[in-house]
Structure 1
Amino acid sequence: MVDHDAWTDQQSATTVTVDGHDLEVAFHEDGSNETEEPPVVFVHGIPTWSFLWRDVVPDVAEGRRTIAPDMLGYGNSAMSDDFDRSIRAQEKMLEELLDDLNVERIALVGHDIGGGVALRFAAHNPDVVERLVLSNAVCYDSWPVEFVSNLGLPSTADVEREELEGRLDSAFVDGAYGEADPEFVAGMKAPWLTDEGHVSLVRNAIATNTNHTTEIDYGAITAETLLLWGEDDVMQPYAYAERLADDIGNTELAPLSNAYHWVPEDRPDAYADRLREFLTDGLA
């Protein structure tokens, strides 16, 4: 298990062009480049960053190359106050990043709004995504939740650091099953506790746009799809996983009990085991 400073030290960075802006993307890479299997790409949500996958990536990287970017405006990626951070823009970021890394085929794993990015990318690039894993993902009109909507209020940009930290503490503690790991909470909060990070978080929340998931043609997704979902989540309830299963072909429901919204953190061992099984064997 690594802390957030060690995770940051292991990241690389590259520059992508999105909507005419040249923007730095930080990404964590692990595993072997020599395997014939496509790399596994992990996309986080809000208000997290790639550190969300800290207990999952090492297990997967034992047999596969892994790539876990920080979305634009998140983590250690660009945070300047002059670009779009919507999931439409994050989809473009992902396209540009994969092109920069010369990656042509992937298995794609998405959580929260990263799941919305993954859904858009899989629908628009069926020749690229071989397997798709969605965990408590935004979809249809399931979002934004109240916490994120409140972060996007103009007044949030003016709150004191202590108040912002308290709001984040509540989000990570309330979204966890049982007692949240203090190391996880500290790592998730870290990018937002600077002046630039504070403003970036507000901009990220403002950029949430339900139109970007209601307009998806879910039937265009051809990848084998696993809905690896925290069963007890109230922010992105399991009923949305069931709806996705009806609309996407070649899909399997895989509920994880005793898991709320931060399912890779709540059940990391079970999550990694089921993910590796799916990556190796496909749908049951």
Structure 2
Amino acid sequence: MDDTSTHEEWSDAQETTTVEVDDHELRVAYYEAGTDHDEPPVVFLHGIPTWSFLWRGVASAVAESRHVVAPDLVGYGNSTMRDGFDRSIRAQEAMLESLLDELNVDSVTLVGHDIGGGVALRYATHNPDAVDRLVLSNAVCYDSWPVEFVASLGVPKNAEKMDDDELEAQLDGAFEDGLYEDDPDPAFVEGMKAPWLGDGGKTALSRAAVSTNTNHTTELDYDAIAAETLLLWGGDDQFQPVSYAERLADDVDSTEFVELDRAYHWVTEDRPDVYRDELQTFLDGTE
């Protein structure tokens, strides 16, 4: 497993490329590791208000046996964060398509959390032959989102009147309240906050929040998904309740549902070992 335990180390390990989304040329930063190209690469998609650092304890472990890619969504992390372009999951789906084209990837396994799960659902619905396997963790779907915290950040006047200390306090609350334990790993909280506390970060977060469009998941034809699917869900999540996983299990064929106890929204932090084990078993196609 490589040494990317801090957000600075993760950033240093990232590569960058340029994609085109809605006639905008945007930089995408991504973590890439692993050498096994016999199987489709595993692409990890994070949510809001996180970035690819969310996967630091998972992607590097999977990379021991698979080729992995973990991009920062546009408007997040070390990808382009300037103003003036769409951050919706529709736009992120277009980013993913362009990134995979840049990387010469035809078939893919997608692992998505939160709105990254919404991006994965859109891509798997619209490209059923291109997705080998699909893993969704506490993912936005149907009308499950946006949550109150994110919706509030998306109101421009709220962002404008919020000072830096207030922003950091809100982020602290989001990352601490989304965990099962009361004593979060400081590296996780600090790493998740870091991109939003720099120049332009507050505006970028507001733009990302206002781009959360429920229509982009209510319009999907979920039974068009052909991929073998794993729902690996934190069972105590209040942001994306397990009832939505149960609904997905009913609507998506070839679905395995694993509910992880003692796990809230940030399931990869609450149950990292069992998350990795369940994911690896599914990727290997073993019981």
Q: Would the TM-score normalized by the shorter structure come out above 0.5?
A: yes
Question: Is 1:276 aligned to residue 252 of structure 2?
Answer: no
- Code of the residue aligned with 1:66 in structure 2: it is V
Cα distance change of structure 1 residues 195 and 157 upon mapping to structure 2, 3 Å threshold: farther
Question: Is 1:63 aligned to residue 65 of structure 2?
Answer: yes
* Count of matched residue pairs: 282
State the alpha-carbon separation in 1 of the partners of residues 27 and 57 from structure 2. 25
| Structure 1 consecutive aligned stretches of length 4 or more whose deviation exceeds 6 Å | none
Give the C-alpha shift of residue 159 in structure 1.
Answer: 1.1
Give the C-alpha shift of residue 158 in structure 1.
Answer: 3.2
Task: State the TM-score, normalizing by the size of structure 2.
Answer: 0.97
Give the C-alpha shift of residue 195 in structure 1.
Answer: 2.8
Question: Is 1:261 aligned to residue 231 of structure 2?
Answer: no
Residues 166-188 of structure 1: per-residue CA shift (max 9 Å, x gap)? 00000000000102111100000
State the alpha-carbon separation in 1 of the partners of residues 273 and 171 from structure 2. 25
- Code of the residue aligned with 1:50 in structure 2: it is S
> Alignment partner for residue 2 of structure 1, among 1, 5, 30?
5
**Residue 99 of structure 2 corresponds to which residue in structure 1?**
97
- Code of the residue aligned with 2:171 in structure 1: it is L
State the alpha-carbon separation in 2 of the partners of residues 116 and 58 from structure 1. 23
**Residue 109 of structure 2 corresponds to which residue in structure 1?**
107
State the alpha-carbon separation in 2 of the partners of residues 174 and 98 from structure 1. 34
State the alpha-carbon separation in 1 of the partners of residues 163 and 239 from structure 2. 26
**Residue 234 of structure 2 corresponds to which residue in structure 1?**
230
Structure 2 residue runs without a partner (length 5+) = none
- Code of the residue aligned with 2:245 in structure 1: it is A
Instruction: Percent identity, please.
Output: 64
**Residue 151 of structure 1 corresponds to which residue in structure 2?**
153
**Residue 165 of structure 2 corresponds to which residue in structure 1?**
162
Give the C-alpha shift of residue 157 in structure 1.
Answer: 3.1
**Residue 21 of structure 1 corresponds to which residue in structure 2?**
24
**Residue 256 of structure 2 corresponds to which residue in structure 1?**
252
Give the C-alpha shift of residue 230 in structure 1.
Answer: 0.3
Residues 133-184 of structure 1: per-residue CA shift (max 9 Å, x gap)? 0000000000000010111111213311000000000000000010211110
Give the C-alpha shift of residue 197 in structure 1.
Answer: 1.3
Structure 1 residue runs without a partner (length 5+) = none
- Code of the residue aligned with 2:178 in structure 1: it is G
- Code of the residue aligned with 2:141 in structure 1: it is C
SS in 2 for 1:13: strand
Give the C-alpha shift of residue 115 in structure 1.
Answer: 0.4
What value does the CA root-mean-square deviation take over the aligned residues?
A: 0.9
State the alpha-carbon separation in 1 of the partners of residues 177 and 222 from structure 2. 30
Kept in 2, the 8 Å contact 1:157–1:202? The answer is no
Residues 217-249 of structure 1: per-residue CA shift (max 9 Å, x gap)? 000000000000001101100010000000000
Question: Is 1:12 aligned to residue 15 of structure 2?
Answer: yes
**Where do 1:35-54 residues align within 5 Å?**
35-54=37-56
SS in 1 for 2:128: coil
Question: Is 1:219 aligned to residue 223 of structure 2?
Answer: yes
State the alpha-carbon separation in 2 of the partners of residues 98 and 16 from structure 1. 10
Give the C-alpha shift of residue 277 in structure 1.
Answer: 0.4
**Residue 122 of structure 2 corresponds to which residue in structure 1?**
120
SS in 2 for 1:84: coil
